[in-house]
Structure 1
Amino acid sequence: MEQDNILISTLLFLLAAVVLVPLGKRFGVGPILSYLAAGVILGPAGIGVVSEPASVLHFAEFGVVLMLFIMGLQLSPGKLWELRSAIFGLGSSQLLLSWSAVTLFSVYLGLSWSGAIIIGAALSLSSTAFAVQLMAEQRLLTTPIGRDAFGVLLMQDLAVIPMLLLTAYLDPNSAEVGHRAVPWYWTCVALLGFLLMGKYLLPKLLQLVAASGVPEVLTAFSLFLVMGSAALMAWLGLSSGMGAFLAGVLLANSSYRHQLETDIEPFKGLLLGLFFMAVGMSMDLSLLLKEPLLLLGILLAMLAIKTLVLVVLGKLRRHSWRNSVALGLILGEGGEFAFVLLSQAHLSGLLSQTLSQALVLVIGLSMALTPYLLRAFRATAKPAEDHSRLADVIEPGESEVVIAGFGRMGQITGRILASTGIPFVALDKDAHHVDVVRQFGSEVYFGDAKRLDMLLSAGLTKARVILITVDSVEDSLQIVNQVQTHFPQVTIVARARDRNHAYRLMSMGVTRVFRETFGSALSASESVLQMLGMSQVQASERVRIFAEHDKAQVVAGAEHKDDLKALIRLSNEGKAELASLMRADRDKRI
């Protein structure tokens, strides 16, 4: 009977997500708010499918752990260095000033210092997923304020782990829990061992798992890695999220980064959706009727404090007044990690249930209100001021070319692009080959380019060209189909193994097809003709005539790729035509 209830609850969770998220997107509401609304409907305030949201919230927090792991994967040293000023200057200033201001305001209202500190930490955070989506909709991601906003969000994400540790430290029962944690010196030893294993052992384990060629095994290992690192930190008495985050950072420069991110992303998305649903179940909407002025006061105070802090900092960064206000409005809302802090603070006894629920409700309302505030503010701008300098700053990590298959042809193209200063991302699904190539300094990642999520992770949405040089004919055709279906704006350049492969590519509409041995065969043929007594000019002309004729034959043959008789007829006609062209060239020179 209990299994039936779990099955029904799961079906209702999935149904709510499938219905409300697309519906919300159609009306301009982000996924987070849609998930919150689904939770409200399914929770005690709605139809009451779940009577104890805390149990669902505890399970769904694993989605936050997965998010921290993916965040770690994206924090390579190079990216941190590019945004160092926005992260550590603007980001840390925003965090400390907003945190301090909200804490002092909370103490002024009569809260204890421990509770006020946690509230200040929670309300100083902004929603990474929400703000990035909002900036994308408003075409602000590539502007200077978009870059600074991204840096602030990155700093906030880094600060979540110390905030979680601080919440545990302020727990009135922390002394009772402390004796169960391992001694501090064993904690240091375990952390050192974890870092050494991550640097030296994990890449070898990943290579062995990837060499099996079974995608499910690599996915299972990815989940095991996240859960194992989280369990280790929990055993040490630290945040489980810290373990996942550190594991991600250790693998940020690994050739398996894109594949790991691709494998984890679906689980993270579903569990985060469930997490937001659980938060929605915990929201007490009756507070809107009971304490509307209190909620409005907290909401306005949070938005005003965070916006004012960012306006001042924006001016110090030499942004205009309008851009500084826009930066404040973008990051004025509450964040998803605030839900984690508030739930932990409530379970620890630092905040009452009523206050915790009121703050959760305020964060949800701030997310609902922020897009309308930003749109209204930008609508007051003069036409000439709107969307200024859209292309001044290129987002870090943006590549113009994706290379699918990094064998002989892919490596040559990669070297030419690198020497020209053109950024690219290379994918190859041979784990051993990837490790060997990376020893020579090439930036190639392990991953199967046939998978749509892999192409998305490699940044094909922003790329201009994809070069397909994989060995397998069928893999090549599948990649072409994925690109044409989901990325029609991207130009396809493809390698063909033979004439038949070229026929199939051209029949799919690929016009830039290069047979892998064709160019070298032409060069060799020219050399042979010269060795037989022809001048360089004569040999070059004969090779040119043949190349143009042969390419035309391939284009004509693509229309009849499945008709053997037609291909034989075209071949015979082509031989006669080529012989005629060669005779004409010889007679002309005589």
Structure 2
Amino acid sequence: MDQDGLFVSVLLFLLAAVVLVPLGKRVGIGPILSYLAAGVLLGPGGIAIVSEPTAVLHFAEFGVVLMLFIMGLQLSPGKLWELRSAILGLGSAQVVVSWLAISALAMQFGVALAPAVVIGAALSLSSTAFSVQLMTEQRLLATPVGRDAFGVLLMQDLAVIPMLLLTTYLAPDMADESKQAVPWYWTLLALGGFVIVGRYVLPKVLFLVASSGVREVVTALSLLLVMGSASLMAWLGLSAGMGAFLAGVMLANSSYRHQLETDIEPFKGLLLGLFFMAVGMTMDLSLILTEPLMLLGVLFSMLLIKALVLLVVGKFRKHSWRAAMTLGIVLAEGGEFAFVLLSQAQLSGLMSKSLAQALVLVIGLSMVLTPFLLKLLRAEKRKSEDTSRPADAIKVSSDCEVVIAGFGRMGQITGRILAANGIPFVALDKDAEHVDVVRQFGGEVYFGDAKRLDMLLSAGLDKARVMLIAVDSVEDSLQIVGQVQAHFPQVTIIARARDRNHAYRLMALGVTEIFRETLGSALSASEQVLHMLGMTQLQATERVKIFAEHDKAQVNASVQHRDDLKALIRISNRGRSELASLMQQDHDKGL
């Protein structure tokens, strides 16, 4: 490829990423699928800008090396110990059982032992980036299922290293001893030296370079560490990614860990995006038309095996059937490291190009299908809750003064304060599992949807004085406000707002008592920061009070312009000047 052709190709890669990734996010498609789509568009199956995607794939694999380095940086011994049961128990069982089952199934269809082992390894893995994003969107990451899923993903990430090694040694070229880099005893010696240097020498080198104060040199050292460790492992005949991973683990407890991660992250993101594009270029979409039954058979076999394995091990972790099914679906898709294993197997002659392309396409389709399966399960959950579990019968005290809608963090704190002061209240929450958990800890909460008029009547809102709306959903809170204003106008509404835009919408409905969920804690933290910087407690309190009053006035002034971006920017700029003036006046007073 000449220099002009290379420049045009890089330009098109960047253009495809800039256009397709944000577009994919707007329609609910993750970055990985967007990069794959960009690769399909640019590759031989699309407009054919790149005719040799394997050359791009070779270069872009450095992005995977960088990802393994950052992964190693994040695996401190303390984190591994905290998730030890999920990693060693749940994660190991998932990887081993899925690997064996998929490999055995591949052999039943005539695949030879060595490629069947690689297929089992590749398809047993899930996508860390994809799964974490999906769990975050569905608010599962902080739940017990989410923590177990993260532990499984961590085990899969650790398993990638031996899988890469195994793929290397199963390759036909490894049978020729003349092509092996060094004898095995030199490999062990070099690994031992690598660990010692990483543990005792690298931190001192990092200190010397960082003390120079030249940021570019620190970035250069970060890249040198990754490239040097990867090159050493390649010289030893091992995986380059293993070297980068070990280098990251050696520096996981270093005080320079965050600096290294910050320096490497931009390179990793771009090269990893290029890697997924290169994988997309190798995807043969014509197989969907020529071999649809084969693709669907492999796809659903992989999803079913992994989901069933995780369902069983999830039950051993004492999850409910539905929670175990959620765990299975979240991790059923294929992963990015499967692309690495399959490309390595293809390039080393262990697997045919057509088979590797079919499996890559299966993994891409599994990423498309998984979110829909999870949404279907969660929709079925809501439906079953609505039909099989009726709302709780509520025993309302005759002197009940407060009704709380949403008994999460904010609702529970308010409830505890009311209870401590002997003030009776009724709390409603529409999440049945959450209600059951809160009751285990002695919380007084009833299962029911506060959007329904009959539930509000059952909760005694017609006799109450105050309604606290603390539900998590913005739309739900607005609907509840409408019900209360229409049928209980005498009740004072106090509402939680997730952000300023939510506050604007509540104010437009006439709600005046609004509390943004992070504002109070942010003000308290800011007051402490000012105090620690040398202000007296009185000065810090007064400055924060000025800011709070000014911020409230800004919100009131902005609400009528909430849909006019230019007006909001103008008000914000004017507000900053006014705030600086108010702070200066306070300073001049001697406070």
Q: Same fold by TM (over 0.5)? A: yes
Identity over aligned pairs, percent: 66
Counterpart position of 2:59: 59
Counterpart position of 1:268: 268
Indicate how the Cα distance of structure 1 residues 553 and 194 shifts in structure 2: closer, same or farther if over 3 A, else same: closer
**Does the 8 Å contact 2:528/2:540 carry over to 1?**
no
Following the alignment from structure 1 to structure 2, what is the Cα–Cα distance between the partners of residues 171 and 293? 29
Following the alignment from structure 1 to structure 2, what is the Cα–Cα distance between the partners of residues 550 and 352? 69
Following the alignment from structure 1 to structure 2, what is the Cα–Cα distance between the partners of residues 559 and 142? 40
Counterpart position of 2:103: 103
Root mean square deviation, CA, Å: 3.2
**Does the 8 Å contact 1:143/1:392 carry over to 2?**
no
Indicate how the Cα distance of structure 1 residues 198 and 512 shifts in structure 2: closer, same or farther if over 3 A, else same: closer
Counterpart position of 1:366: 366
Q: Secondary structure at the match of 1:173?
A: helix
Q: Which of 508, 514, 531 does residue 514 from structure 1 map onto?
A: 531
Counterpart position of 1:248: 248
Q: Secondary structure at the match of 1:350?
A: coil
**Does the 8 Å contact 2:530/2:540 carry over to 1?**
no
The higher relative CO (CA closer than 8 Å, separation ≥ 6) is in: 1
1:491 matched to 2:522 = yes
Counterpart position of 1:481: none
Following the alignment from structure 2 to structure 1, what is the Cα–Cα distance between the partners of residues 58 and 29? 26
Indicate how the Cα distance of structure 1 residues 561 and 155 shifts in structure 2: closer, same or farther if over 3 A, else same: closer
Following the alignment from structure 2 to structure 1, what is the Cα–Cα distance between the partners of residues 259 and 197? 20
Q: Secondary structure at the match of 1:284?
A: coil
Indicate how the Cα distance of structure 1 residues 560 and 44 shifts in structure 2: closer, same or farther if over 3 A, else same: closer
Counterpart position of 2:164: 164
Counterpart position of 1:72: 72
Indicate how the Cα distance of structure 1 residues 317 and 17 shifts in structure 2: closer, same or farther if over 3 A, else same: same
Q: Deviation per CA, 1:390-426, whole angstroms, max 9, x where unpaired?
A: 9989xxxxxxxxxxxxxxxxxxxxxxxxxxxxxxxxx
Alpha-carbon shift at residue 261 of structure 1 (Å) = 0.9
**Does the 8 Å contact 1:182/1:236 carry over to 2?**
yes
1:3 matched to 2:3 = yes
Question: Quick one: which amino acid aligns to residue 129 of structure 2?
Answer: A
**Does the 8 Å contact 2:307/2:332 carry over to 1?**
yes
Counterpart position of 1:433: none
Q: Structure 2 length as normaliser, TM-score?
A: 0.69
Q: Structure 1 length as normaliser, TM-score?
A: 0.69
Counterpart position of 2:492: none
Following the alignment from structure 2 to structure 1, what is the Cα–Cα distance between the partners of residues 209 and 290? 57
Alpha-carbon shift at residue 146 of structure 1 (Å) = 0.5
Q: Secondary structure at the match of 1:153?
A: helix
Counterpart position of 1:214: 214
Indicate how the Cα distance of structure 1 residues 205 and 488 shifts in structure 2: closer, same or farther if over 3 A, else same: farther
Counterpart position of 1:197: 197
Indicate how the Cα distance of structure 1 residues 490 and 157 shifts in structure 2: closer, same or farther if over 3 A, else same: farther
Alignment of 1:492-571 (within 5 A): 513-514=530-531, 516-519=533-536
Following the alignment from structure 2 to structure 1, what is the Cα–Cα distance between the partners of residues 140 and 215? 37
Q: Deviation per CA, 1:64-97, whole angstroms, max 9, x where unpaired?
A: 0011001101111111111001001010000111
Counterpart position of 1:397: none
Indicate how the Cα distance of structure 1 residues 299 and 548 shifts in structure 2: closer, same or farther if over 3 A, else same: closer
Q: Deviation per CA, 1:161-203, whole angstroms, max 9, x where unpaired?
A: 1011111111112133654412222222221211111111111
| Structure 1 portions without partners, runs of 5+ | 394-486, 496-509, 523-543, 579-590
Alpha-carbon shift at residue 559 of structure 1 (Å) = 6.2
Indicate how the Cα distance of structure 1 residues 196 and 490 shifts in structure 2: closer, same or farther if over 3 A, else same: farther
**Does the 8 Å contact 1:44/1:51 carry over to 2?**
yes
Following the alignment from structure 1 to structure 2, what is the Cα–Cα distance between the partners of residues 548 and 134? 41
Indicate how the Cα distance of structure 1 residues 6 and 494 shifts in structure 2: closer, same or farther if over 3 A, else same: same
**Does the 8 Å contact 1:140/1:390 carry over to 2?**
no
1:91 matched to 2:91 = yes
Following the alignment from structure 1 to structure 2, what is the Cα–Cα distance between the partners of residues 86 and 548? 45
Alpha-carbon shift at residue 231 of structure 1 (Å) = 0.6
Following the alignment from structure 2 to structure 1, what is the Cα–Cα distance between the partners of residues 269 and 435? 30
Alpha-carbon shift at residue 548 of structure 1 (Å) = 9.4
Alpha-carbon shift at residue 382 of structure 1 (Å) = 3.3
Following the alignment from structure 2 to structure 1, what is the Cα–Cα distance between the partners of residues 174 and 352? 18
Counterpart position of 2:377: 377
Q: Secondary structure at the match of 2:176?
A: helix
Alpha-carbon shift at residue 552 of structure 1 (Å) = 10
Following the alignment from structure 1 to structure 2, what is the Cα–Cα distance between the partners of residues 145 and 73? 25
Q: Secondary structure at the match of 1:380?
A: helix
Following the alignment from structure 1 to structure 2, what is the Cα–Cα distance between the partners of residues 144 and 234? 40
